[in-house]
A and B are shown apart, each in its own frame.
Chain A
Amino acid sequence: MIICKDVNKFILKGIELHVPKGVTLGVIGASGAGKTTFLKLISGLLSPGRGSIYTFRKDPVGKRREILKDIAVLFADIPVFNDELSVRDSLNEMKTIYGIEKERFTERTEYVADILGFKDILDTRVRALSLGQKRRAELGMCFIRDAGLYIFDEPCIGLDQNAKAAFYTLVKEKKQEGATILISSHDMEDISEVAERVLLLDDGEAVFYGSKDELVKKLIPMEECSIKLDGAIPDISDLEVEKLIIDNDMMKIYYNSNHVSSKEVIERICAGTMVKSLNFRRSGLGESIKISHFGRV
Chain B
Amino acid sequence: MKMKAYMAFAKKSFLQKSAYRMEHWMGILNTLIRLVIYVEIYRALYGAREAVDGITMSMVTTNFILSLGMESFFVVDDFYLSYRIGNGSIASEMLLPVSFHGRMLADNLGTAAFKLIFHFIPAMLVAVLFIGISAPAGAASMGLFVLSVLFGYGVLWSISFMFQMFSFWLINVWAIMTIKNVFINVLSGAMIPLWFMPESMKNVIKFTPFESIYFTPVQIYLGKITGAEIAGGFIKQIIWIVCLLGIGMILWHKGQKKLVVQGG
Contact = CB atoms under 8 A, between A and B. Distances in A.
Given A43-B95, A64-B94, A75-B91, A93 B8 contact: yes
Interface of B: 1, 4-5, 8-9, 12, 16, 87-89, 91-92, 94-98, 259-261, 263
17 contacts: A10-B263, A43-B95, A45-B94, A45-B259, A46-B263, A47-B260, A47-B261, A68-B95, A69-B97, A71-B95, A73-B95, A82-B89, A96-B4, A96-B5, A96-B8, A97-B97, A98-B97
A249 B36 CA distance: 87
Contacts of A232: none
Nearest to B8: A96
Contacts of B1: 99
Contacts of B94: 45, 64
A155 to B, nearest CB: 16
Contacts of A78: 88-89, 91-92
A82 B12 CA distance: 13
Contacts of B89: 78-80, 82
A77 B88 contact: yes
A47 B258 CA distance: 10
A61 interface: yes
Nearest to B259: A45
A286 B73 CA distance: 59
A290 interface: no
Given A78-B92, A93-B9, A96-B9, 11 more contacts: A43-B95, A44-B260, A45-B95, A46-B260, A46-B261, A68-B96, A75-B91, A78-B91, A79-B92, A96-B8, A97-B96
B207 to A, nearest CB: 37
Query: Counting chain B CB atoms within 10 Å of each CB, which of A10, A77, A79 scores highest?
Result: A79
A268 interface: no
A211 to B, nearest CB: 29
A21 to B, nearest CB: 20
Contacts of A44: 95, 260
Given A78-B91, A78-B92, A93-B8, A40 B263 contact: yes
A65 interface: yes
A47 B263 CA distance: 9
A64 B91 CA distance: 12
Interface of A: 10, 37, 40, 43-47, 61, 64-65, 68-69, 71, 73, 75, 77-80, 82, 84, 89, 93, 96-99
Nearest to A69: B97
Contacts of B97: 65, 68-69, 97-98
Chain A to chain B: the 4 pairs with minimum beta-carbon distance, closest first: A96-B8, A68-B97, A99-B1, A47-B260
Contacts of A65: 97
Contacts of B87: 79
Contacts of A10: 263
A79 B88 CA distance: 7
A96 B106 CA distance: 14
Nearest to B89: A79
Contact of B91 (A37, A45, A98): A45
Query: Counting chain B CB atoms within 10 Å of each CB, which of A46, A78, A84, A99 scores highest?
Result: A78
Nearest to A83: B87
A97 B91 contact: no
Nearest to B99: A65
Nearest to A89: B12
B168 to A, nearest CB: 15
Given A79-B88, A97-B5, A45 B260 contact: yes
A47 B94 CA distance: 13
A65 B98 CA distance: 8
A62 to B, nearest CB: 10
Query: Counting chain B CB atoms within 10 Å of each CB, which of A45, A61, A75 scores highest?
Result: A45
Contacts of A93: 8-9, 12
Contacts of A98: 97
